[in-house]
Amino acid sequence: MKATFSLGCVAGIRIGVHWSVLVIVLVLALGLAGRFPDTYPGRPSWQYWITGLLGAVVFLLSLLAHELSHALVARRNGVGADDITLWLLGGIARLRSEAPTPGAEVRIAGVGPLVSLSLGVLFGVLAGLFGALYGAGLAVETLTWLAGINLLLAVFNALPAAPLDGGRLLRALVWQKTGNPLRATAVATGAGRALGWVLIGVGLYLVLFGSLFSGFWLVVVGWFLIAMASAEGSRAKLRELLSGVPVRQAMGSDPVTVPASLTVARFLTAPEYRYRHSAFPVVDAEHHPVGLVNVKTAAGVPEVERDSPVTSVMIPIENIPTPHPDDPLVGVLPALDSSPAHRALAVENGRVAGTVTSSDISRITSWLASSSWRSRTF
């Protein structure tokens, strides 16, 4: 899920918003504004709309707090976090790797529902205080709604089914009991698919009996759970297939590098860079990697600015995975997905030994799958 626009950074973590958030804001604002006239009639319509919109925005901030807690706790447990994207069905915190231990998995997954639960209690207390001080009104109604929806979010996320936080907790428990993280993932993703089908079934039942909106929403959430759980299961099978494979076996060796002092104009016209590659490692005078320059990005530089060095348009090395060639390939997968370059630079003795792309992963995966099939057949 890619962000449509950025809201900046919080604690060094990029916060993005997908365009579908506008849909959920509108739906929530409509729902709140529509219920206010029945409870508090006689107010100007703009008050209903402004209060409804504010309630929807605060709920999105609650979702952001939920996801931000995952990212911050992940960092404390040695798992890097790049960004958070808010979208139609909530938020996604993108982590660079898997949790290293079952205990870390529990801490990373468990903090989200705890934050939502705490927010639910906080909004409930505020609703009580406002009600006691000022009496019932739109503010108290909105705070009560925020308390309820955050408590519901905490309970729903605690369900033991991947990709929900409860699914992560289930995975940690099975991992702790069996010592097998892949087996634990299979159990959690199986529970996620089962819950998804249950929600779809309940949603279709509600649609048939006239509750169109609630039923449709449950079907969408159920489909999302099935899709995400299936994708997570596929990633687990991929990790199992690549278990024991070093980066060296998949990487493209001795890549062509670009000197950091080279201008963008020279990079785009020099015959030595007219390869089928879409990006090249950038190295300094000592041949140490400093980044990665994308051909398409460089080509987008206006003609009058192409005398600047390629370092002005490269992706810094800090944002690129740099495994050693003998590191496990499976450990590179999450970082490869989260990297803006979508590739890794294998670094040995301070120099670029090779590059790893998604195509390289697909190639080695196909070879391993074919070898496994032949060994079973013969």
What is d(CA 305, CA 146) in angstroms, rounded to the nearest whole number?
A: 51
Residue in the structure block whose two tokens are 């409509």 = 30
What distances in angstroms separate CA 287 from CA 128, 169, 256, 322, 349, one per listed residue?
64, 45, 12, 15, 11
DSSP 87-136: ETTEEEEEESS--SSHHHHHHHHHHHHHHHHHHHHHHHHHHHHHHHHH-S
How would you classify residue 179: left for phi > 0, otherwise alpha for psi between -120 and 50, otherwise beta? left
For residue 348, how many other CB atoms are within 10 A of its CB?
Answer: 14
Q: 296 is written with which tokens?
A: 């398409």
> Which residues are paired to 14 by β-bridges?
9, 83
30 near 58, Cβ under 8 Å?
no
Q: Which of 67, 98, 105, 141 is catalytic?
A: 67
From the list 307, 244, 305, 295, the residue with the least C-alpha distance to 268 is: 295
What distances in angstroms separate CA 75 from CA 6, 69, 99, 244, 283, one per listed residue?
21, 10, 10, 26, 29
Q: Is 105 an active-site residue? A: no
123-156 as b/e: b if 16+ CB within 10 A: bbebbeebbeeeeebbbbbbbbbbbebbbebbee
What distances in angstroms separate CA 125 from CA 120, 132, 140, one per listed residue?
9, 11, 10
DSSP 311: G
Active-site positions read 67
